[in-house]
Amino acid sequence: MKMFLHKLIIFSLLLVNSDGFQVRGPSGPLVVPLGDSVVLPCYVDKLLTMEGLEVDWRRSDSETLIHLYQDGESRPEVQQQDYHDRAHFFTDQIQHGNFSLLLNNVTAEDEGKYRCKVFSGQDSGETVVEIKHVERLIVSGSDHSISAYAGEDVTLNCSVDSHITPEEIEELSWKKTDKDGDILVLLYQNNEPLPESSHEQYRDRVEFFTDEISKGNFSLRLKSVRTEDKGVYMCQVFAGGVSANTTVELEQLGLSVLHIMVLILCITAAGAALVLCLIYFTSQKKDSVLRLHVFLAFCPNIIMFCAFVFWGVSEGSVNETVCCCALYIVRPLMLLWAAPYVTDFTGHINKLILRHSYVAEYVFLSAVIYSALLKSSFGKLLNYAETERVIISVFFGIMFLYCLCKIIYILVAKIGQKSGRIIDIFDVVSDMIFEFLPILQFILLFYMFGSGRAGLFIVVLLPVMLTMTNDTMFDRCFIRLDFSISVIRTVQLILMFVMNAAMMGFLIMTLETETDPIGWACVIVFLQILWTVTKMTDSYFSISRGFHRYVSVYLFGSVGVVLISLLL
């Protein structure tokens, strides 16, 4: 029995004096904030000799080398690329048995198990450290929708969790979500706001609270709210390889004083048109009918002009406002020309108005519309190839040249009753350009709105359009077939209608990327209708001799269009 106790004591002493060691780690899994730093604990229960000491950190699931301590120094050159400059030993603590690893800028991909294995002489030991959860990127906004009056400033809330600094945010964007595609409201990138990236609808109306960005507050200030701003806005953040977002709904936009004025003016215009129309039908005196012509032509349209001025001020849509105001200010010219009894007007000025009112309307409206189109597309021109910029500039130049020549001719030759060779040159140039205006307009709009690749279609369509719009070429084609002039003109009208419909269809598809595609399409369609009317009433176009102006057409133009505008 004594011998057995003696051997047991000797064996115990040998175990105590052996070089065996135990590697210890954390008591449980680690939870780490995204983008933060974490220490992966790894240490031994006794001091080890530095000679031959090796510490190996790897991912347990993939055997990816995180970091290595070997031959008395760290070996960062052998690290896997994703951990280069992110994983570090506490070098001064290694001699004390602390082999913990500092992992910086933690990402979602860092979740998982890590093995720390220590080799010393013939012995080794290991422990496993688990990053169980990386706290995701937290982006918070408003819990309720926002209501405001049009014209007011509103704040759309968006906060990023405070452990993510602005420098760590790769990109933050505010977008208005829409079924037809998102609209970029404002962008934060490379540690700075980029207001020039905003969609034109929001440019100069949105901004961050600069002093609050350092606190993770990326709320958006939307100034001078418009009715079209109503909708859902999303604040989306990208950081640490992950993204998160929050949404804010802007709804129940109340009417401002200007909007109420617009509504009152529209109702007044519609009421005036209806009342004047009733008086028109019941009036029996010739003098009263002539006065009602003037009131019906001017009163509702001038009121609608004022309504669009107020609408433009409240909504800030300069191009649309200019086009609509121009349309209503020149519509009386067309109405006076189409009035059933306006031929009973006497006087030199009245006859000039009758003869040139529709031409003046077309020229004036063309100049306004193409000016607005040029302004809206000016920013796009800078992104086009040089050849396309030249083509678009030339076409715009031709359009404005026509308008200039025709205006000079009407003012000098028709109203000023002047004549001469120079005046005749202006008339000839404007008439030549007029014949090709639909073609030029068609090609210009395709190029301007980003559909220059439709060139093949234009090349195929061009000969047909040239033949259709040019009377001489059209007559030569059909007179040889022994058709009468009335048949030729009827066929030409049908072709003009079909080609205009095809052009409008292609243009509407082209305009889909614009802010107000329906509005632009309607204005261009109306401009094309004016061109057709001007073409039909040309002295060469013999069908114009039988072109009558009916009471129904006049009343629809003076009353119906105003009522439609009110409904829209």
What's the confidence (pLDDT) of residue 323? 81
* C-alpha distances out from residue 428 to 49, 435, 540, Å: 104, 11, 15
Residue 437 has pLDDT above 90, yes or no: no
What's the confidence (pLDDT) of residue 546? 42
pLDDT classification of 9: cutoffs 50, 70, 90: very low
Exposed, middle or buried, 39 (CB in 10 Å: 0-12/13-18/19+)? middle
Length of the chain: 568
Q: Is the dihedral of CA 500, 503, 505, 507 positive or negative?
A: negative
What's the confidence (pLDDT) of residue 406? 86
Which has more confidence, 127 or 12?
127
Domain ranges of the chain: 19-135, 139-254
> What is the tens place of the pLDDT at every residue in 70-104?
988 889 888 988 898 899 999 889 988 999 999 99
Edge-to-edge strand ranges of the sheet holding 154-156? 154-156, 220-222, 206-208
Residue 273 has pLDDT above 50, yes or no: yes
The lowest-confidence range among 228-242, 334-348, 357-371, 489-503 is 334-348
What's the confidence (pLDDT) of residue 356? 65
pTM of the model: 0.54
What's the confidence (pLDDT) of residue 450? 59
Residue 508 has pLDDT above 60, yes or no: yes
What's the confidence (pLDDT) of residue 207? 93
pLDDT classification of 6: cutoffs 50, 70, 90: very low
Asked whether the domain spanning 139-254 has the same topology as the one spanning 19-135, the reply is: yes
Q: How far apart are CA 161 and CA 208, in angstroms?
A: 17
Q: How far apart are CA 231 and CA 248, in angstroms?
A: 9
Q: Which fold has domain 19-135?
A: Immunoglobulin-like (2.60.40)
Q: Which two three-digit tokens encode residue 407? A: 């205006």
What's the confidence (pLDDT) of residue 12? 40
The lowest-confidence range among 204-208, 210-214, 248-252 is 248-252
> What is the tens place of the pLDDT at every residue in 518-529?
667 777 777 777
Helix 286-315 and helix 257-282: axis angle, to 10°? 170
What's the confidence (pLDDT) of residue 338? 74
DSSP states of 524-554: HHHHHHHHHHHHHTSTT-GGGGG----HHHH
Candidates 2.60.40.10, 2.30.110.10, 3.40.630.10, 3.40.50.1860; correct CATH number of 139-254?
2.60.40.10
What's the confidence (pLDDT) of residue 4? 39
Mean pLDDT of the chain: 78
Determine how many CB atoms are found less than 10 A away from the CB of residue 22: 11
What's the confidence (pLDDT) of residue 355? 58
pLDDT classification of 547: cutoffs 50, 70, 90: very low
Q: What is the CA radius of gyration of the chain?
A: 39
Relative to beta strand 192-193, strand 183-189 is: antiparallel
What's the confidence (pLDDT) of residue 389? 78
Which has more confidence, 452 or 165?
165
Residue 468 has pLDDT above 50, yes or no: yes
Q: Buried b vs exposed e over 522-533: b needs ≥16 C-beta within 10 Å?
A: bbbbebbebbeb
